[in-house]
Amino acid sequence: MAWTVPITFYDGDPLTAAQWNTFVRDNLNATAPGIATSPGNMIVTSGRNRIAERQWARSIISEGVLSSGEWPGDPDDDANPGPTLTFEHGGSFLMLYDVRIRRESGTGAVNYAPVIESGPGELPNVYNMAVRTTTSNYIRTGSHILVTGADAGITTVTMKYGATPASGGTSDSVGSYAQRRLTILPF
């Protein structure tokens, strides 16, 4: 039920059943206790006098994978893509992600970042915010992206991997990634 600004009563005004249902019952059903369904969820604003319940999402894949293609792409190991998360949001969400990463061979950088694969509206290209490295030793490194201004709805995000070329060169690098984590806080 939608929220309605509560009525102001004056002495002598009768309280009708319809008024009680609109201004008390329906409004209470539109508050946080009225909409809460599952423990651990967040309550966020979804518009003027509207709130919504949002569920955090997290996925971890321990298996290591290699990438030899250009970024953004799936890893070479078809059996271990992702992580992938599908979630509902009101137009903005915070993505937190980290992996163990190193460049196994080549001269350019190896990269990874969560890529928005489906969902309503125009969503930003995350290419510039990809985690990238040219180091050959394993390091654990991650980053974040706050997406704003998207249309509300259900969106799927998948971690993508691959190489970008060294200056004037080709994308010949092979990347190695392990202990891959993706967390989404939808707002």
Partner 1 sequence: MAWVTPKTYVASDILTAADFNQDVRDNMLETETAKATKAGGLFMQSTSSPNRFEVQVPAVEKVSLPHIEYETDEFATPIYDDPTLEVPAATSYLIFFAANQRVVSGGPAVWFSVSIDGEEPSLRQRMYSTTTGIIRQSGWFKASKVYTPGTETRTIQFVYGADANTLGHWTQRDLTVIPIA
> Rule CB under 8 A: is residue 8 a binding residue for partner 1?
yes
- Name the segment binding partner 1 (CB under 8 A); options: 27-35, 62-70, 76-84, 168-176: 27-35
Output 66 or 145, the one with its CB closest to partner 1. 145
| Choice from 21, 105, 118, 135 touching partner 1 (CB under 8 A) | 135
Amino acid present at 21: N
To which H or E segment does residue 184 belong?
Answer: strand 174-186
> Rule CB under 8 A: is residue 45 a binding residue for partner 1?
yes
Return the half-sphere exposure (C-beta side, CA atoms, 13 A cut-off) of residue 165.
5
> Rule CB under 8 A: is residue 56 a binding residue for partner 1?
no
Output 42 or 77, the one with its CB closest to partner 1. 42
- Per-residue DSSP letter, 68: -
Which residues does 83 contact at the CB level (< 8 Å), separation at least 6? 59, 60, 61, 158, 159, 180, 181, 182
> Rule CB under 8 A: is residue 179 a binding residue for partner 1?
no
Report the SS3 class of residue 151.
coil
> Rule CB under 8 A: is residue 1 a binding residue for partner 1?
no
> Rule CB under 8 A: is residue 15 a binding residue for partner 1?
yes
